[in-house]
Amino acid sequence: MPLHNADIAAVFNEAADLLELEEANPFRVRAYRTAARVVSDLRKDVGTMIQAGEDLAELPGIGEDLAGKIREIAQTGSCSLLRALRTHTSPALVKLMTVPGLGPKRVRTLNRELNIRTIDQLARAARGGRIRRLAGFGEKTEQNILQALAAKARSGTRLSLAIAAQYAEPLVAYLQATPGVDAVVVAGSYRRCKETVGDIDILATAVPSSPVIERFASYDEIARVLARGTTRATVVLRSGLQVDLRVVRKASYGAALHYFTGSKPHNIAIRQLGQQAGLKINEYGVFRDGQRIAGTTEESVFASVGLPWIPPELREDRGEVVAAQAGRLPRLVELADLRGDLHSHTTATDGRNTLREMATEAQRRGFEYLAVTDHSQRVRMVHGLDPERLLAQVDEIDRLNRELEGLTVLKGIEVDILEDGRLDLPDEVLARLDLVIGSIHSHFGLSKQRQTTRLLKAMDRPHFSILGHPTGRLIPTREPYDVDLPQVLRHARKRGCFVELDAHPERLDLNDLHCRMAKDEGVLVSIDSDAHSIHDLDNLRFGIGQARRGWLEKTDVLNTRPLSELRRLLASGTGGSS
């Protein structure tokens, strides 16, 4: 059975966790984490690459040994290393590492100091106040563990939108090839671009004689079939992801697509409007006195209650119906509106492609500009740039820009915001750059007041341009740090700087509500890929989805501006919408 890149990456990540749990060589652990990241970030399917005879050892960070393991995983679903590690590692300790915020080091400490081996023991120890007494934990960490356990119990297993896409999109292509099938679309929270999805809802239109249900139930990635009828089926994939297929006739496509896209509160609001007009709206159509009057398209469903079509990303019952009634729906930003990307990394720090390779790929994609923003010296694990190395990169960018046509590489840095709000590099060095992204990568547990003060102080530095991934969250492993974001956004407006929507699928930071908050404050948002490879530039797709959920329009986004206007905004510090 074929494996997706996410499956292969999961094997490497599990191996790295188990190696770290048994205190293996850190360089060995890092090699497997790098392999997981490289495979996960690939936009080409590894199985396809193997079939085509491509040399996996040529991938950045992948040598012959790891390439062999990738081939082994692709062929068998696992590897001998992982099987060996599993035999002498406690499954209970492995389960503890699924709690957000608990990595191998902390699990090792909890086991060694408090003999914690299960989730229940962890919860009892946290509720009893015993964890806070351990070195490196504290009361804040203890509370975070309790919150993570509660959230885990509520949410169950959810996948990032990017990983869900690896399963959903090939399945859609597979179903599309079925005789008698007209359209196949993923609906539900996936279509609404929610940052994580719990299952996949697929809608297909087909003639009654189509074998689409049978073809779906025989998909080679299915672990078990939960239900199967003439127009619907539910299966669980080997990844654990549940997929529901609903088949309707073409005449009901619009009504079914609206119904299965959701959200439930939005659908209720539309049905109530229908009831007020004497209509019945369901997944089969719009009916008046038993007569079907609409439902072939989504537009016809909305028109039946006097509304224009509402984009799926807005369908959360957060004012979109009222806005539609008043003719004030936003014209949401689109991927094609972006002129460039303002956050990317190269091999100078922890990127996997060189400066030239990143620029060439941006040029191929039709970007007008690409900002190179490698890490600053404080991030020692990735060989962050000190002043001398940064200025050498500045000169390298100047030389490259003299060669490039149609693309300008902007000189930038992702500078660490230190605990006291200072920036990791001196002002005289930052003055040489086109833009400065300030980000927090440490001391996440500060109080709300201290964390907020830290950000405000950093934003007051004279060359500060953009606040990077403003809440510091990682989905689903790290909760946002405690910060007064409304105050931060007001200060950004006053100070004349910008905030980032980091489009990496594990960040998507700002979230949708914060994007709308920035819009309301008049602070421009920069939708950035945080690319660590040429393939990561595809992250912009997920950032656009998040921005649309946050009601952002083209004019609300910094990097929709042409280069000349962007330079003016960065230089002048006039951070509001123009």
Measured CA to CA, the distance from residue 273 to residue 281 in angstroms comes to 9
Buried b (16+ CB within 10 A) or exposed e, 382-410: eebbeeebbeebbebbeebeeebeebbbb
pLDDT surpasses 90 at 63:
no
| Domains 5-155 and 159-248 belong to one CATH topology | no
Sheet holding 498-502, edge to edge: 340-341, 369-372, 408-416, 435-439, 466-467, 498-502, 525-528
Query: Looking at residue 2, what is its pLDDT?
Result: 59
Torsion of CA 151, 154, 160, 164, to 10 degrees: 160
Q: Does residue 262 surpass a pLDDT of 50?
A: yes
Is the model's pLDDT at 358 over the cut of 90? yes
As a whole number, mean pLDDT of residues 461-476 equals 93
What CATH homologous superfamily does 256-325 map to? Answer: DNA polymerase, thumb domain (3.30.210.10)
Ranges of beta strands (E only) in 145-284 are 159-160, 181-186, 196-197, 199-206, 222-228, 232-237, 242-248, 280-282
φ/ψ (deg, to 5) at 518? -65, -40
The predicted pLDDT at position 78 comes to 80
Give the Cα separation of 513 and 550 in Å (integer). 6
Class of domain 159-248: alpha beta
> What is the pLDDT confidence band of residue 578, given thresholds at 50, 70 and 90?
very low
Residue 154 has what pLDDT? Answer: 55
pLDDT, position 575? 41
Tokens of 81: 């290393």
Q: Per-residue pLDDT for 576 more than 50?
A: no
Mean pLDDT, the chain, rounded, equals: 91
pLDDT classification of 21: cutoffs 50, 70, 90: confident
- With a cut of 80, say whether residue 381 has pLDDT above it: no
The H-or-E segment that residue 568 falls in is helix 563-572
Residue 303 has pLDDT above 80, yes or no: yes
Q: What pLDDT score was predicted for residue 155? A: 54
**432, pLDDT greater than 50:** yes
Question: pLDDT tens digits for 133-161?
Answer: 888 788 878 888 887 777 666 555 678 89
Fold classified for 5-155: DNA polymerase; domain 1 (1.10.150)
Does the pLDDT value for residue 494 go beyond 70?
yes
The kind and range of the H/E element at 39 are helix 26-41
Using pLDDT thresholds of 50, 70 and 90, give the confidence band for residue 59: confident
Contacts of 281 (CB under 8 A, 6+ apart): 255, 270, 271, 274, 287, 301, 304, 305
CA nearest to 120, candidates 143, 155, 104, 96: 96
Q: Please state the rounded mean pLDDT for residues 548-567.
A: 98
Distance in angstroms between the alpha carbons of the first and the last residue of the chain = 53
- Segment 112-141 shows an average pLDDT of 86
Distances (CA, A) of 105 to 10, 102, 125, 382: 19, 8, 17, 20
CB 214 within 8 Å of CB 174? no
pLDDT at position 153: 63
Query: How many CA atoms within 13 Å lie on the side-chain side of 139?
Result: 2
Q: What is the pLDDT of residues 498-526, one digit of tens each?
A: 999 999 999 999 999 999 999 999 999 99
Kindly state the average pLDDT of the residues 196-208. 93
Higher-scoring residue by pLDDT: 150, 339: 339
> Could you tell me the residue ranges of all domains in the chain?
5-155, 159-248, 256-325, 335-572
Q: In 3D, which of 556, 71, 551 has the Cα closest to residue 313?
A: 551
CA distances from 220 to 181, 186, 227 (A): 19, 19, 17
Helical residues (DSSP H) of 103-208, grouped into ranges: 104-114, 119-127, 138-155, 161-176, 188-191
Listed range (165-174, 227-236, 374-383, 463-472) with the worst mean pLDDT: 374-383
> What class does CATH assign to 335-572?
alpha beta
Amino acid at 192: R
Over pLDDT 90: what percentage of the chain? 64
Residue 480 DSSP class:
P
Query: Which one of 54-63, 93-102, 554-563 scores highest in mean pLDDT?
Result: 554-563
Please tell me the predicted confidence (pLDDT) of residue 149.
79
What's the CA gap between 281 and 302, in Å, rounded?
10
The amino acid occupying position 450 is R
Amino acid at 180: G
Question: Residue 574: its pLDDT value, please?
Answer: 41
**Whole-number pLDDT of residue 248:** 93
> Does pTM top 0.85 for this prediction?
no
Whether the link from the prior residue into 179 is cis, omega within 30° of 0, is no
Structure tokens at 129: 């106040």
Q: Report DSSP letters for 318-377, one per residue.
A: SSHHHHHHTT----B--GGG--EES-B--TTTT-SS-HHHHHHHHHHTT-SEEEE--BBT
Q: Has residue 325 got a pLDDT over 60?
A: yes
| Token duo for residue 48 | 């396809």
Model confidence band, residue 430 (pLDDT cutoffs 50, 70, 90): very high
Beta carbons of 338 and 371 less than 8 angstroms apart: no
Surface-to-core class of residue 364, CB atoms within 10 Å of its CB (0-12 exposed, 13-18 middle, 19+ buried)? exposed
Position 47 scores a pLDDT of 83
Among the residue ranges 124-133, 391-400, 455-464, the one predicted with the least confidence is 124-133
Under a CB-based contact definition with an 8 Å cutoff, are residues 522 and 494 in contact? no
For the chain, how big is the Rg over CA atoms in Å?
Answer: 25
> Which pLDDT score, from 0 to 100, does residue 41 have?
77
